[in-house]
Amino acid sequence: MSKQQQQNPNQNQKQAPKTAISPTRDENFPEWYQQVVRSADMAENSETRGCMVIKPWGYGVWELIQRQLDVYFKDTGHKNAYFPLLIPVSYLEKEAAHVKGFATECAVVTHHRLEAEPQADGSVKMVPAGKLSEPYVIRPTSETIIGAAFARWVQSYRDLPLLINQWANVMRWEMRPRLFLRTAEFLWQEGHTAHETPEEAMTETRLMHGVYEKFLREHLAIPAIPGEKTEAERFPGALNTFTVEAMVQDRKAIQAGTSHFLGQNFSRASGIQFQTRDGKQEFGWTTSWGMSTRMIGTVIMAHADDDGLVLPPRIAPTHVVILPITPKEETRAAVLEAADKLAAELRQISYHGAAIEVEVDRRDLGGGVKNWEWIKKGVPLRVEIGPRDLESGNVAVTRRDQPVKAKEFLPSGEFVARAAELLYAIQQNLLARAQQFRDENTRVIETKEEFYDFFTPKNREKPEIHGGFALAHWNGTREVEEQIKNDLKVTIRCIPFGEGEAGTCPFTGMPSAQRVVWAKSY
């Protein structure tokens, strides 16, 4: 061994490639997630405890999610409305199971004004005054306030079905906030419907459950497992809760959207009654369903890499960013002109029924700086144009779903002709990659020992990197659910559709109707 090698014995070891995000996913997944959000300029923490400021790039993603999901709602006959932010506490008290489920998360308004109170040091302190005769909660969800409106709107079976959706914000006093995943205030949509029969209400519940699964798969490139929640995991006050469960890159589950069959529980509490076809009085059969800005966090954790965000093209605010390379002032005008011409041509191309969104980054910054900013933002296609490209007629194209240095040189006209095709390919590749990751980290488990080993960390320095989705039998009792939750912090994410083969519960030896999906979750 040479003297130099003795002084530096690790010099021959292969060094890990540099990444834009530090720490990497493998080093510290929770911190990696926070850094991706920041480096992509998606959101930041607010001065208001537990709340976030959604910045333009993050809000652009939400606008596309909202716009595209809203098409599904309207295509299935729903109409948008808006209901009050403040809900009288007495409304929640009418539905005992519901209020119990949300009581610890409610923010309560008790006064209606502030008064200035002079202090000894000459300053002024603003203190609450004008105590309300009845306190209000800032909506954690809107079943009760919407139920009161439905009670006024529904008189006869002819008024049904009533199919309403609301785009709004809600507040749940989150103890451990994390940008997009869990914040005290977040944006969402909540659908609320009333029906003449339980069969119609259940059909609605399953229909919207299917909409969520399709939306995740086709728009967010996330393969989710559809299924039903156990009784212990149901929405408070619901008879059935259906969920779509997604796996992210630390192999945990995220509840990505839920649809609830509420039976007559809320209609009885709110007085939603109608005259039936034979002249009798009947309580309505209701549903509710929702999806939130948590979807943005799910997209980040499902697709982002150690260089930043990776956006599925269907929800990317910008599909193509053009980076003019202008090392010399005398060629700057010609390069910018070519970039603008290319952008105009791309904007004439349709991608999923709308024009391709293009941005020309004209900022007077180094090409490397600009390039890395857009890499971290996750723009699907980056295109470089410089003086040499003007001579050759080519452009340098890089796909965000491929290595950052994997450039392809294409004639400008060919790139324009293939732009939509490339975006489709990126979308499908992200879905296939997420599907493969989920499948590789899903295991059929037969014994208690294998189950506990699957969810036990193998590396104490990385306690969160283990497990995945376990398909194991369950005897249907809450006692087993609680025991596994206490031992491993693992819960039943859903009772999946299509896993109906009977077997034996590995925890009790008792009969089991089918396998269920177990995982750690956010």
Please give the chain's pLDDT, 522 residues, in tens: 444 444 454 444 456 667 899 999 999 999 999 999 999 999 999 999 999 999 999 999 999 999 999 999 999 999 999 999 999 999 988 876 777 777 888 999 999 999 999 999 999 999 999 999 999 999 999 999 999 999 999 999 999 999 999 999 999 998 889 999 999 999 999 999 999 999 999 999 999 999 999 999 999 999 999 999 999 999 999 999 999 999 999 999 999 999 999 999 999 999 999 999 999 999 999 999 999 999 999 999 999 999 999 999 999 999 999 999 988 888 899 999 999 999 999 999 999 999 999 999 999 887 689 999 999 999 999 999 999 999 999 999 999 999 988 999 999 999 999 999 999 999 999 999 999 999 999 999 999 999 999 998 876 666 566 789 999 999 999 999 999 999 999 999 999 997 678 999 999 999 999 999 999 999
Tell me the three state secondary structure of residue 291: strand
Query: Cα 207 from chain centroid?
Result: 20
CA distance 440 to 456: 18
The superfamily in CATH containing domain 442-519 is: C-terminal domain of ProRS (3.30.110.30)
**Same topology between domain 29-303 and domain 313-430:** no
- Name the helix (H) or strand (E) containing 228: strand 225-228
What's the confidence (pLDDT) of residue 358?
98
Q: Across-strand partners of 288?
A: 192, 260
Tell me the three state secondary structure of residue 133: strand
> Contact, 299 vs 61, CB < 8 A?
yes
SS3 percent helix, strand, coil of the chain, rounded to 5, is: 35, 30, 35
Question: Residue 255 to residues 225, 229, 234, 241, 491: CA-CA distances in angstroms?
Answer: 10, 10, 12, 12, 12
Q: What is the DSSP annotation of 238-271?
A: -SEEEEEEEE-TTS-EEEEEEEEEEETHHHHHHT
H helices of 347-447, where? Answer: 367-377, 387-392, 412-440
What's the confidence (pLDDT) of residue 128?
94
Handedness of CA 152, 185, 297, 219 (dihedral sign): positive
- In the chain, where the domains are located: 29-303, 313-430, 442-519
What's the confidence (pLDDT) of residue 53?
98
What's the confidence (pLDDT) of residue 462?
62
CATH class given for the domain over 313-430: alpha beta
Q: Across-strand partners of 45?
A: 52
What's the confidence (pLDDT) of residue 14?
54
Query: In this structure, what DSSP letter does residue 313 have?
Result: G
Other CB atoms within 10 A of residue 505 CB:
18
What's the confidence (pLDDT) of residue 463?
57
> Contact, 405 vs 307, CB < 8 A?
no
CATH class given for the domain over 29-303: alpha beta
Query: Cα 343 from chain centroid?
Result: 31
Per-residue pLDDT tens digits for 409-432: 999 999 999 999 999 999 999 999
